Amino acid sequence: MSIGIDNVFETVATRPRTPSIIVGVAFPQRVKMSDVARTAGVSVATVSKVVNGRYGVAQATVERVQQVIHDLGYEADLGAQSLRSHRTNVLGILVAEFEPFSTELLKGASREVAGSGYQLLAYSSGDGEGAAIGWERRSLARLSGTLIDGAVIVTPTVVETKHGFHVVAVDPHTGPSGLPTVDSDNFAGAVLATNYLLSLGHRRIGHISGRPDLESARLREAGFRQAMADAGVAVDERLVRVGGFRIEGAAGTAAELLALPDRPTAIFAGNDLSAISTLDVARAIGIAVPDELSVIGFDNVPESALVDPPLTTIRQPLQRMGAESLRLLIDLIAGVERDAHIRLPTELVVRASCRPIG
């Protein structure tokens, strides 16, 4: 069981504005164990044995109670269940906010959890763009031990886990450490992106980098610089600027780059959101993409294929990263010995936002 997340990014602005009126809405009361017992004609103790998988109940009674549980929609209280068994059979995915990157990870995790015996809880710290260092520590303190048995944390700043509680980090700020991690080959992906622009004849290539505190952003900039050096092309430092992986920050950076007298002929943006923002800025000031400017991104979020022109980008397998992180967490809880660090390959996805320099 998992949440539905395919339509998370429908914006309020696209919906018709109607008065907020709620009329005659009846919220059903929570089904209690005593309701199940009464309907099944058994004792509460018998229902408790069935729910918790204990012995001492006839098979016919087990089947009758399970049918009533299904019919009434009874769900065991996670907090009470945790106190009794020290297990909730729920795994958490903790994010600072729900945005395209984390949403794709969630899709992969939600598929992987099917048939595992676990349920999936997606949890946002609520800190959003201004997520402070340690947001995941606060989130774990709220959830660990009583609501979830383990957690996947997306781009954590720092993680301190208590003994016996398992955590897997996806794309951690500091890169792989003692904590089990899943990420993609950011350095190789950046080399791919830069080499593609170089192969099209571009030499004045700008780079809109990500957040300076993120290891993935540092690796992408390092890959860009390595590819330029390998090609014998000097990096113009005026063309390397921080966009922060955010639409708003990247827009200002792109505007600065495109306002230069000798502006770049191509831009490698640190992620797809930054690249899409660059497309918007170029369109607003009358620079045609790809005729006058080539733009390449990184991530391959669904939005990258929907913009005009469709964005050439570096694909990191986000849904697979989500699935691998959840499988790693399940294996850790089960005591399965395996590699604690998983790095997945990246690949070039050619669409229509780049062309050979004229």
This prediction has a pTM of: 0.76
Q: What is the pLDDT of residue 108?
A: 97
What mean pLDDT, rounded, does the chain reach? 85
Report pLDDT for 4: 39
For residue 111, what are the domain limits? 87-184+320-342
Q: Is the pLDDT assigned to residue 200 strictly greater than 90? A: yes
Taking Cα atoms as reference points, which of 308, 224, 329, 225 lies closest to residue 269?
A: 224
pLDDT at 80: 52
Residues making up the chain, counted from first to last: 358
CA gap 316, 298 in Å, rounded: 8
137, with CB counted inside 10 A (0-12, 13-18, 19+), is middle
Domain-located, residue 11: no
Give the model's pLDDT for residue 258. Answer: 98
In this structure, are 192 and 258 located in the same domain? yes
* Res 273 pLDDT > 80: yes
Please give the pLDDT value at position 173. 82
The pLDDT confidence band at residue 5, using thresholds 50, 70 and 90, is very low
Check residue 6 and give its pLDDT. 39
Reading the block at residue 194, the tokens are 């830069």
The pLDDT of residue 165 is 80
Task: Let me know whether 285 and 222 are in one domain.
Answer: yes
Is 314 in the same domain as 222?
yes
Using the 3D structure, point to which of 84, 103, 121 is the last residue of a domain. 84
pLDDT of residue 23: 39
pLDDT in tens, 96-142: 888 999 999 999 999 999 999 999 999 987 665 545 567 777 788 77
If one counts the domains in the chain, the total is 3
The DSSP code sequence of 97-116 is S--HHHHHHHHHHHHHTTTT
pLDDT at 212: 87
Same domain, 206 and 244: yes
Q: Are residues 280 and 247 in the same domain?
A: yes
- pLDDT tens profile 242-268: 999 999 999 999 999 999 999 999 999
- Same-domain status, 234 and 303: yes
pLDDT digits (tens, 9 = 90+) for 61-89: 999 998 998 888 787 655 555 444 467 88
Instruction: Indicate whether 17 pLDDT > 60.
Output: no
Q: pLDDT > 70: what percent of the chain?
A: 84
CATH number of the domain encompassing residue 50: 1.10.260.40
| Confidence bin at 13 (pLDDT 50/70/90) | very low
